Amino acid sequence: MGLSTSATHIIFFIASVVIAASFVGVAANAILNISNGIQDRGNMLADQLSGSFEIINDPTHMSNNPLILYLKNTGKVPLSTAHITILIDGINEDNYTVSNDTWMPGDTITLTVNVDLASGDHVVKVVLENGISDTFYFKV
């Protein structure tokens, strides 16, 4: 009776250690994934806070086709032009060219949008891949 009780206790102890170790492994993996997500989000927010640009055109009497916009990097970090979203009067415009792929702080690039606009007041919003945006009101 004494030996079987000790053997049972040892088996339960080993089973408890195995279950606890597997739980710790799963929990550690979940915590690591959450930590990486928080770090990625922090890096993205840091990029958004230290990066900015402005559309620096004269808002009166803009050219029509093509629409030429001058974007100045007013932030502290280089910005990428690989994925730009251009909204003119709320409509996404895909037919555009950019003078440079990246631009350094203080540099100005040219964004040429091939669009035929009617005379009158318009609004353009330029959004970069990291979510930084600027809105510009102009007249054609």
- Domain borders along the chain are 1-50, 53-139
Taking Cα atoms as reference points, which of 112, 70, 80 lies closest to residue 95?
A: 112
For position 1, what pLDDT does the model report? 53
Which residues of the chain, if any, have pLDDT below 70?
1-3
Question: Cα(129)–Cα(83) distance, rounded to whole angstroms?
Answer: 5
Please say whether the dihedral angle defined by the alpha carbons of residues 25, 28, 34 and 38, taken in this order, is positive or negative: negative
Task: Provide the sign of the torsion angle of the four alpha carbons 110, 103, 124, 122, taken in this order.
Answer: negative
* pLDDT of 2: 61
Distance, in Å, from the CA atom of 17 to the CA atom of 76, rounded to the nearest integer, reads: 52
The percent of the chain in helix, strand and coil, each rounded to the nearest 5, is: 35, 30, 35
What pTM was estimated for this model as a whole? 0.71
Instruction: Look up residue 28 and give its DSSP letter.
Output: H
Q: What is the CATH number of domain 53-139?
A: 2.60.40
